[in-house]
Structures are given as C-alpha cells and as structure tokens.
C-alpha cells in the first residue's frame, strides 16, 4: 500500500484544511506482558534458565491447534497525521489490511 508523505486534511484545531505529515503508528512494546501466569513473569522469577528443553518455560510457547490454522500475516494500519501549522497529531485507523506501507 502506497501512502503519500504529505496529505491535505482538515485540522480541527486550525479549523481549516492544512498540510499533514503522514506517519505510521507503531505500538511501543508488549502490553500487559507481566500479567499473572505469564512466561515473562516466570522468567523474572528465575524459571526457564539453563540448558536443555525447558518445556513450558522455553524460548517458544507451544502453538495450540486453533492458532496453527488461518494465521493472519497482515494487520490494519494506523496512521498519524501531524498538522504542519500547529503540529497537533490526529491518529486514525484506515481499516485496510496490508503487509507493508510505503510512504511516497
């Protein structure tokens, strides 16, 4: 999917149409990775260290039968539009599944 770097959009703060710089939103880290019963939490406790097969606490989690079929490889993209005039950012999901986003 090709997206132009600069788009003309309505800015609710400037109350007129201005140029917006387009950027893709990327989530920072994993959310709730230290929840109760998680592998990340067990590793902090000291489990899953050393040599050999660590089973449940190993490097890769066991893949369930449900997850094995129909795995999706694309995600809905979220774009961030930064107003050139007031530098405010509007975040908007486009609702289109794409593997790769190219800024032209």
Instruction: Please report, as ranges, the residues that interact with Zn ion according to CB under 5 A.
Output: 11, 13-14, 83, 85-86
Rounded Cα distance between 96 and 59, Å, is 33
Nearer to Zn ion, 77 or 83 (CB): 83
Rounded Cα distance between 104 and 102, Å, is 6
Nearer to Zn ion, 42 or 89 (CB): 89
Cβ distance 9 to 92 under 8 Å?
no
Nearer to Zn ion, 40 or 85 (CB): 85
Tokens, residue 18: 């201005």
- Other C-beta atoms lying within 10 Å of the C-beta of residue 10: 13
* Least distance in angstroms from the C-beta of 94 to Zn ion: 20
């Amino acid at each position: 999917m090709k997206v132009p770097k600069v788009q003309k959009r309505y800015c609710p703060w400037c109350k007129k149409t201005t140029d917006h710089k387009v950027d893709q939103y990327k989530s920072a880290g994993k959310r709730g990775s230290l929840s109760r019963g998680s592998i990340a939490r067990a590793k902090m406790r000291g489990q899953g260290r050393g040599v050999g097969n660590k089973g449940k606490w190993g490097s890769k989690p066991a893949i369930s039968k449900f997850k094995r079929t129909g795995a999706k490889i694309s995600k809905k993209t979220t774009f961030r539009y930064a107003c050139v005039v007031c530098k405010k950012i509007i975040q908007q999901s486009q609702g289109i599944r794409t593997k790769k986003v190219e800024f032209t």
